Amino acid sequence: MTTELVLLGTAGAPMPVAGRAGISSALIADGRVFVIDCGRGAPSAFADAGLDFTRLEAVFLSHLHADHTGDLPGLLLYPWGVRTGGHGPLAPIRVYGPSRPAMLPAGDAIFHRVTTIHPELPAPGTADLVQHILAGYAYHLNVMPLDARMPDAGELVRGIDIAVPARTDGTTQAPAVVFDDGAVRVTAVAVRHGRAVPALAYRFDTADGSVVFSGDTSVNDDLIALAQGAGILVHHVADLGYLRRHGTGDAELDRMAALHTDVSEVGGVAERAGVGELILSHYLPAEPDAITGEEWASRAGKGFSGRTTAGHDGLRRRLGA
Ligand SMILES: [Zn+2]
């Protein structure tokens, strides 16, 4: 077996920046492709990495902010034409992710919405998202097959909500088994990313080793437990001090500290998890020239006895190599 990690995009936050694509990663196990998050540019990065759209099996969404989901429609719809084989349409691409939250999160005096969009379903989950993508692109899906040979649109995709274990304070969560076919096992825990509930971290295990994807989270014991002993931890990182120096206000920074893991904290997370390598991704600030890779790695690696790597778009790691 061979298992390889590819970082498709490493930028955090929705705002496009030059020179870095939005957050997305891929794990390739014996040619089968699993995509984790689907930010800006993911379909192009998938092609740039030489990955095979006929081998895309599943997408795993950490949470439903647009920087993690915005290019999901393209990842499903652009390669639709090749999703066919000698025996008809390929198996549907499965999109796993958070379910609807139990209730629409409320705001507070400082941060709140003015208009509630789509009040009849204001916090759609992953299965809802996929259904709404199909609904929004029904024209393409219903009309394109009249002018080109296309596989049955009904077999293109399935959206699947992940039931995360209920949080019980003081004890670590038992990870939910999301996917397990004997060769690839995917487990998930809920993490804390502000009001984005549920938000998930994922662990992939194959015979070659283990990779954990933090998603977006503040420092979290459940993530550390999930990542125990993994070969690679792909962790998002923020430099809140940089953002303060560049004009982000106190109220917003306080909120961001509850949303993100600071560069001063992430090495401690990797050390407590006992992983082999910490690979940084989902940078805040996202601009590649704001902070060099060397600086990110040296600051993030403090307190971590393993290897720290500043991830970049296109970075590849062969597991077990
Ligand atoms: Zn994010």
Q: What is the pLDDT of residue 25?
A: 98
Q: What is the pLDDT of residue 103?
A: 86
Q: Is the pLDDT of residue 170 over 80?
A: no
**Minimum mean pLDDT among 32-36, 102-106, 112-116, 213-217: which range?**
102-106
Q: Is the pLDDT of residue 172 over 90?
A: no
How much distance in Å is there from the Cα of 40 to the middle of ligand 1? 11
| Residue 195 confidence class, pLDDT cut points 50, 70, 90 | confident
Stated as kind and residue range, the H or E segment containing 190 is strand 185-191
Average pLDDT over residues 267-292: 98
Strand order in the sheet with 93-98: 157-162, 93-98, 56-60, 32-36, 24-29, 3-9, 316-318
| Residue 168 confidence class, pLDDT cut points 50, 70, 90 | low
How much distance in Å is there from the Cα of 157 to the middle of ligand 1? 24
Q: What is the pLDDT of residue 198?
A: 86
CA diameter of the chain:
60
How much distance in Å is there from the Cα of 204 to the middle of ligand 1? 20
How much distance in Å is there from the Cα of 217 to the middle of ligand 1? 9
How much distance in Å is there from the Cα of 295 to the middle of ligand 1? 21
Distance CA 100, CA 179 (A): 20
pTM: 0.97
Q: What is the pLDDT of residue 121?
A: 95
Average pLDDT over residues 155-171: 83
Q: What is the pLDDT of residue 117?
A: 95
Neighbours of 265 (CB within 10 A): 19
Average pLDDT over residues 258-269: 95
| Residue 167 confidence class, pLDDT cut points 50, 70, 90 | low
| Residue 12 confidence class, pLDDT cut points 50, 70, 90 | very high
How much distance in Å is there from the Cα of 105 to the middle of ligand 1? 18
